[in-house]
Amino acid sequence: MAGWGDTLPQSVEIVEVGPRDGFQILPDWIETSDKVRIINSLIGAGIRRMEVTSFVHPRAVPQMRDAMEVVQGIDRDRCACFAMVPNLKGAERAIEAGIGMLNLIVSASESHNQSNVRMSIEESLAGFGPVLAVAREAGVPVRASMSTVFGCPFEGHVPVARVLEIGRRLLDMGCVELNLCDTTGMANPRQVAHLACKARKALGAQCIVMHFHNTRGIGAANLLAALQAGINRFEASFGGLGGCPFAPGAAGNVATEDMVHMLSEMEIYTGVDLPALLDAVRQAEKTLNMVFPGQVIKAGRSCDLHVRPTT
Ligand code: COA
Ligand code: ZN
């Protein structure tokens, strides 16, 4: 008889997005040297793919204004680094900086796309044609992140058919990977399993990544639902930082170290050195002078035993 865990993947690729999704929402300026140190410490802990910044308008997201310096300061030899770009101007800046991959951003809901990038979905997609052309010319692969896939804070329900249609168009344009994002933590496990199955069938099993926010405490449940539906690539953010400045109520991603901890307890391989990651995240907490929402940095790993009190 088949056991409960038989459909789970044996390994998962962790894609760290804290230096973009996490830093972009922090109001106080983080020195470029601190950003670079944190990114390099995450690479040192075994993170092998990371979204390191975004090439957006510095007026829209001032925290990302040092994107070029960040890309050029980090240890890119050991980690496949990519950056978010909303349009051609961002793509040209990112390619000039020497980034290894571009991440396009478009929402599945019209009103979030307008709030985020001041364009309609159609205008965003039309603008991606020239982006893919310059990227191809430069030999830089392009992936795409789709926001508000599981619900929009302005419009509510987002039809699965629309997500699949936008996804198909992005892949047909030449994007190599499609990242389905629960931007404001509106997803539930049943919905995740449903979309994961539909997306794998309609768009191809190998190209799907998922990105969950823990806004309402459902992040780990959504992760499990996606794993059971065969998804094996997930974005996460160290410490549980994260959120979109253009979506009300946005809160942090599932913390990378909490995700790695859960997967490692389930004997699913990630390649990340969890004790080293916990050290890096605790160090980042000091550097940023914050208390992160992540839980394993507070509780320790479940395999870390305690001396039993004798009185
Ligand atoms: N980087 C830097 N400058 C940019 C740029 C980019 N990616 N895109 C456009 N600009 C500049 C233009 O060159 C132009 O400059 P000029 O006034 O000196 O000629 C100016 O910005 C206005 O260009 P326009 O195309 O009208 O942009 P906009 O003002 O409508 O802004 C975006 C559109 C997409 C650039 C902006 O909304 C943005 O950066 N959003 C970021 C969203 C984000 O990061 N969200 C969080 C992630 S989920
Ligand atoms: Zn996010």
Mean pLDDT along residues 74-91: 97
* Residue 1 reports pLDDT greater than 70: no
Q: Whose CA is nearest to atom 33 of ligand 1?
A: 117
pLDDT digits (tens, 9 = 90+) for 200-218: 999 999 999 999 999 999 9
Ligand 1 midpoint to CA 110 (Å)? 18
Share of the chain above pLDDT 90, in %: 95
Chain-wide mean pLDDT for the chain? Answer: 96
Ligand 2 midpoint to CA 310 (Å)? 46
Share of the chain above pLDDT 70, in %: 99
Which position has the higher pLDDT, 247 or 225? Answer: 225
Mean pLDDT along residues 165-181: 98
First vs last C-alpha separation in the chain: 47
* Residue 269 reports pLDDT greater than 90: yes
SS3 state at 310: coil
CATH architecture group of domain 11-299: Alpha-Beta Barrel (3.20)
Task: Give the pLDDT confidence score for residue 266 in this predicted structure.
Answer: 97
Virtual torsion, Cα 81, 284, 25, 18, nearest 10 deg: 30
Provide the angle, in degrees to the nearest 10, between the axes of the packed helices 189-203 and 160-173: 40
E-state strands within the chain? 13-16, 49-54, 80-85, 101-107, 142-147, 178-182, 208-212, 233-236
Ligand 2 midpoint to CA 211 (Å)? 7
pLDDT digits (tens, 9 = 90+) for 11-26: 999 999 999 999 999 9
User: Using 50, 70 and 90 to split pLDDT, how confident is the model at 128?
Assistant: very high
Residues with CB under 6 A from ligand 1: 24, 54-57, 60-61, 86-87, 89-90, 93, 105, 116-118, 147, 244-246
